[in-house]
Amino acid sequence: MTRRLLLLFLLLFNLQTLAVSLSSDGLSLLSLKSAVDNTSAFSDWNEDDDTPCNWTGVSCMNVSGSPDPRVVGLSLAGRNLRGYIPSELGTLVYLRRINLHYNSFYGQIPAQLFNATSLHSIFLYGNNLSGPLPPSICSIPRLQNLDLSSNHLSGVLPPELRNCKQLQRLILASNQFSGSLPDGIWPAMVNLAQLDLSANEFDGEIPEDIGELKSLSGTLNLSFNHFSGKIPNSLGKLPLAVSFDLRGNNLSGEIPQTGTFVNQGPTAFLNNPLLCGFPLRKKCENSDQNAPPGSGQRHTPSSDNLKKGLKPSLIVLISLADAAGVALIGLIAVYVYWKRNDSDGCSCTGKKKLGGGNGRHGWCLCICANDAAASEGGDSDREVGGSGRGEGELVAIDKGFTFELDELLRSSAYVLGKSGLGIVYKVVLANGAPVAVRRLGEGGEQRYKEFATEVQAIARVKHPNIVRLRAYYWAPDEKLLVSDYISNGSLASALRGKTGKPLSGFSWSVRLQIAKGTARGLAYLHECSPRKFVHGDIKPSNILLSHDFQPHISDFGLNRLISITGDNPGSSGGFMGAALPYLKTVQTDKPNNYRAPEARVFGSKPTQKWDVYSFGIILLELLTGRSPDQSPTASTSTEITDLVRWVRRGFEEENALSDMVDPVLLQEMHARKEVQAVFQIALACTEPDPEVRPRLKTVSENLDRIGN
């Protein structure tokens, strides 16, 4: 009997010790483990731990007012978890990020979850969640990112969304939401940059006040719903960089022609049978606004109006005049045809008006493009300019990417950036596809063969992390490169934002992905490309990011092309420059602090080790959140060193990693070893002696081992 009492006492003592040892945050997290069928993902979530901070998917940090680290992040994406989201997660008062996407969570989103008032990012997309969107969701004062797409959520959007004043991304695509969009909520969302309501059951008219979303960027996606009525003119007040996706609705009437509308291609409005006007090919009856602005198209009254407003004799005269006009046009066409055949297949007898006014950029140019230019590689041996074979040629390098020069020049364009390597425009083609067009310059009219050879060498470089060249245009006074348009801007913009300050919220997994992809692209240029290219100008502004933050290296091989054109590509001459007279407002690049020490010697020839050093600086920027343009302060207040020396000194003096790493990364404690490993790679890349630096192939292989 005494022995049984002793065992019972020991059991009660152990249970009491367990209840006391595990923190309150840990107990709340265990509710998630209990709510999920497959617990293999929680193998290290042990009830007898003192703290949950070492558990898989859990991030902690020290917060003011608490003696122990508190849970600030929960990330268990893509773990094949099936269960419900427990309401106890709402007791994690310091929780900032919850990421449970691509699992099989079902049931409703518990309203108690939003008691975790420190939340700023909620990622629950790709689950089986159902029910309405809780109105209390905007009781979270700092909510910035809400992605609930690809679930089975339903009901109407609550008007309480107007309280989400800090919200930057609202993504509710591929659900079953219905009803009209509420009025009055959109002007209150002053920070909203991304809005995606596509593939739902919304109906009614598009609210007029959506045009008040002044911070919107990217795509306003309202596609594949049941919206009806006219497209509100107010959408034209959205920022010019915004693209529309209004496909698959029941919209009607004429597409407005003001503001942001002039930058949209026809794809934005497809599958709306009752829509008409430019850029669709469907004309609107009783309207003279269905052609591109400035096209000068004459409005022709309908037959009903003619019958009502004109006498029969006048109708006969008009018909005869129209017939005479058609005959005259036919004679002119025959004349031009024979004239072209007599001039060896190509001639330019005058300037052709392209584009137009009223907000759409237009210019005049004599064009004579040969059909052979559309074949792969073009005719590199043909002399263009001064040869009597025409004044311009568009050469499509990729067989699957063909379009006419006239189409390119008619498309709307705006400036993406300007540097010593030329002005870059975004151009939306008639099929809705965006491309990037770089204007190189006006000189080099006698060096076409050399230019074409260089372009063909660049075009043969095909890698997922390198921007693809699609076509080029050559004329004596104009050279253009047409490449893929990468939608998410540059790494420089992502890191520093518009104000030049570091951008928070850049997770470690995204930074590591960018580092790995960039290293792979550079290693391919160095080892596998036909010429074993040296980029020579690697920096964040030359690393472009796609929508999923995959990096794409741009601008390689351009220095040679610039030397061939022989003048300043940043000048405002040429037909692209004439079309965009506001180029003087574009900022040029700052001095390049990513160059290797030996690259700063005048007359030195670029080497692959230049690229290695520049890549090392980018790694340090991803790790520290500091730009090399910002000189970090050293141990004394009066001593300033560069970024490389500052990091080296930190490791030599065995400073805490938290003193050097970007504060955002301190929240991801699980990544500590990975961060340290990347620091070592960065320091090896930035060795002062170029012979000591590793090859990019070795760097890429070492990075790929991290995190795997």
Catalytically active residues, by annotation: 537
Strand segments (E) across 546-646: 551-553
Q: Dihedral (C-alpha) 30, 32, 34, 40: value to the nearest 10 degrees? A: -90
Give the SS3 label for residue 196. strand
CB 161 within 8 A of CB 185: yes
What is d(CA 482, CA 459) in angstroms, rounded to the nearest whole number? 11
Tokens of 185: 């909520």
Residue 556, sorted as left (phi over 0), alpha (psi -120 to 50) or beta, turns out to be beta
CB 517 within 8 A of CB 699: no
What is d(CA 484, CA 435) in angstroms, rounded to the nearest whole number? 5
| Contacts for 591 with CB less than 8 Å, ≥ 6 apart | none
- CA-nearest of 482, 479, 481, 474 to 390 is 474
CB atoms within 10 A of CB 490: 21
What is d(CA 29, CA 27) in angstroms, rounded to the nearest whole number? 5
Peptide bond into 279 cis (omega under 30): yes
Length of the chain: 708
Max CA pair span of the chain: 124
User: In 3-state terms, the chain is what percent helix, strand and coil (to 5)?
Assistant: 35, 20, 50
Chain position carrying tokens 């497209």: 231
Can you say how many angstroms the Cα of residue 435 is from the centroid of all Cα atoms in its chain?
Answer: 13
CB atoms within 10 A of CB 631: 15
What is d(CA 500, CA 165) in angstroms, rounded to the nearest whole number? 23
DSSP-derived pairing of the beta strands 169-171 and 478-484:
unpaired
Give the SS3 label for residue 135. helix
C-alpha to C-alpha distances, 629 to 433, 590, 594, 642, nearest whole angstrom: 36, 9, 9, 9
Cα 373-382-472 angle, rounded to 5 deg? 40
| Contacts for 615 with CB less than 8 Å, ≥ 6 apart | 518, 519, 522, 538, 685, 696, 699
Cα 373-379-385 angle, rounded to 5 deg? 85
